[in-house]
Copies of this chain bind each other. A is one copy, B any other.
Amino acid sequence: MDEVRIIEIKKSIFEDNDRDADNLRKELKERGVFLLNLMSSPGSGKTTTLISAISLLKGKLGIAVMEADIDSDVDARKIKEETGIETIQLHTGGMCHLDAEMTRQGLENLTLQETDLAILENVGNLVCPAEFDTGSCCNVMILSVPEGHDKPLKYPLMFSICDVVLVNKIDVAPYFDFNYEECVRNIHLRNPKAKVMPICAKTGEGVQAFTDWLLTEVKNWKNKN
């Protein structure tokens, strides 16, 4: 195979969000609210996955959802309609991600009195959300089958910061050139500790493995000083 030339283009990125995120994490710990940050490309199935997961978690945990989008409120309406839980829509004013301060603005608009688990559905984007700690207790991402098993190679940071990668739309795998084993290998290249779980959010297949994991995480976190 021919060699191709690689040109490194650099641009600096500013930071001072990490302290804000740590402070938010401490405050949430005091209030007993576990914050989950859910990320993916546009159209990977974040909302459908949440609806499926919430139906399994309802009654076991108090849950509230923040839907972040640049525009529209279709997702928040869908979640509220299908699950009945407290849901708000965050509009980011064009911003491509949420940082800790923006997440805090969202949390301030939730009741949180009986909430054990607050879920942030981040802006659909595999790049920028990975660069900003939201103050979450865990990061979960969805990679959907149609996107391809090579994505961990192209978007390394996102895969390296996630505790769990849900491989969604596993039902349509036969119609795509998608190799699950290679996908898992690529994810573990970036993040050997990442838990990888195949799911079909539409049918609910595999979602319980994820909610079981999440229940244990929340429980362990609550018991930790």
- Establish whether residues A70 and B154, one from each chain, have CB atoms under 8 Å apart when the complex forms: yes
**Chain B nearest Cβ from A61, distance in angstroms:** 21
Of B91, B127, B131, the residue contacting A8 (CB under 8 A) is B91
Chain B nearest CB: distance from A151 CB in Å?
6
C-alpha gap A42/B75 in the complex (Å): 20
- Name the 9 nearest CB pairs between A and B, nearest first: A43-B147, A146-B146, A96-B127, A72-B153, A4-B76, A10-B93, A41-B42, A43-B148, A41-B41
Interface residues in A, total, Cβ within 8 A: 62
Given the interface contacts A93-B10, A144-B146, A146-B146, does A109 sit within 8 Å of B5 by beta carbon? Answer: yes
**Residue in B80, B88, B146, B147 whose CB lies within 8 Å of A7:** B88
B4–A88 CB distance below 8 A? yes
Which residue of chain B lies nearest to A81 when distances are taken between CB atoms in the complex? B1
User: A128 and B126 in contact (CB under 8 A), knowing A5-B109, A80-B2?
Assistant: no
Most chain B beta carbons < 10 A, residue from A2, A70, A73, A131: A70
Measured between alpha carbons, how far is A70 from B151 in the docked complex, in Å? 11
